[in-house]
Amino acid sequence: MTVLHSAPRISSNEGVLDTLTAALGAKVVAAREEHGEIVITVARDAIEDALRQLRDDHEYQQLMEIAGVDYPSRAERFEVVYMLLSLTRNHRIMVKVTAAEDTPVPTVTTLWPVAGWLEREVFDMYGVIFAGNPDLRRILTDYGFEGHPFRKDFPLTGYVELRYSEEDKRVVYEPVELAQDLRQFDFMSPWEGAQYVLPGDEKAPATPPVAQPKTTDTPAQTGAGAKANEAAADKQSAGAPAPEATSKQEPGAPAPKGS
């Protein structure tokens, strides 16, 4: 039985960018098609109206994800990316806004309740503030956590570490202590003329210079001597030892086949 469905199996981007940018009008800051994706950047204050229009008028019903990106060199260092899915058109688009540390982004929990948790993730990881979110608090890090881990200027080792204290019978926070310092390796082989001291070699005592190198110019300097040389020569001239005679019948060599 053939099943027909209105949604195409593979949707095309043809004409989508022009249609959506024309519909959004002045809300659009930039728009492009890149790597097979439609990417539209809209004004931050107009994000709620733009997403409502895409949902109601262009059938992008589902908010699949909200992600953050950090560009520290920009004046508005953060990008907030909304990923939308149209079930009826089988098509996806990405909508972006930019924000600084002190410029809040309007919440879209009025359009999709699931955005509450997604906005909390971006707030927790990047520190982006979402104005109007009814429960804007951390969701992935612990209570009292300092900083935002996904920012490019956040240290890789963090600021504190936690462990369970048997003495206090609870989890305690302590400054980070590394068992081994992070090192910078240049991968130069020390056998190819590296002009530096290898890590750890600075602790070893310096090797004193040798006034006269040790050589073995005569047999006496080898530690063997004439008697040892004569014993070795006797063993070589004696040949292999004779087989030991026993009362047990020893098996002989097998006869060659075909003889």
Q: For residue range 147-191, what is the model confidence (pLDDT) as tens digits?
A: 999 999 988 878 888 888 899 999 888 887 766 555 555 555 555
CA pair distance 50, 85, nearest whole angstrom: 15
Examine residue 218 and state whether it is found in any structural domain, yes or no. no
CA pair distance 79, 128, nearest whole angstrom: 9
Examine residue 214 and state whether it is found in any structural domain, yes or no. no
Examine residue 245 and state whether it is found in any structural domain, yes or no. no
Q: What is the CA radius of gyration of the chain?
A: 39
Examine residue 168 and state whether it is found in any structural domain, yes or no. no
- What digits encode the pLDDT tens for the residues 56-109? 999 999 999 999 999 999 999 999 999 999 998 899 999 999 999 999 999 999
Examine residue 35 and state whether it is found in any structural domain, yes or no. yes
Examine residue 229 and state whether it is found in any structural domain, yes or no. no
Confidence (pLDDT) at 192: 58
Stated pTM of the model: 0.64
Examine residue 251 and state whether it is found in any structural domain, yes or no. no
User: What is the domain extent for residue 96?
Assistant: 16-140
Count structural domains, the chain: 1
Q: Which among 22, 9, 82, 96 has a CA at the least distance from the CA of 58?
A: 22
- State percent of the chain over pLDDT 90: 50
Examine residue 37 and state whether it is found in any structural domain, yes or no. yes
The residues pairing with 105 across neighbouring beta strands, listed in sequence order, are: 130
What is the phi/psi pair of residue 160, to 5°? -135, 160
Region of poorest pLDDT, from 12-16, 68-72, 80-84, 217-221: 217-221
Residue partners of 153: CB distance under 8 A and separation at least 6: 72
| CATH code of 36's domain | 3.30.460.80
- What digits encode the pLDDT tens for the residues 234-258? 766 666 666 666 666 666 666 666 6
Confidence (pLDDT) at 142: 83
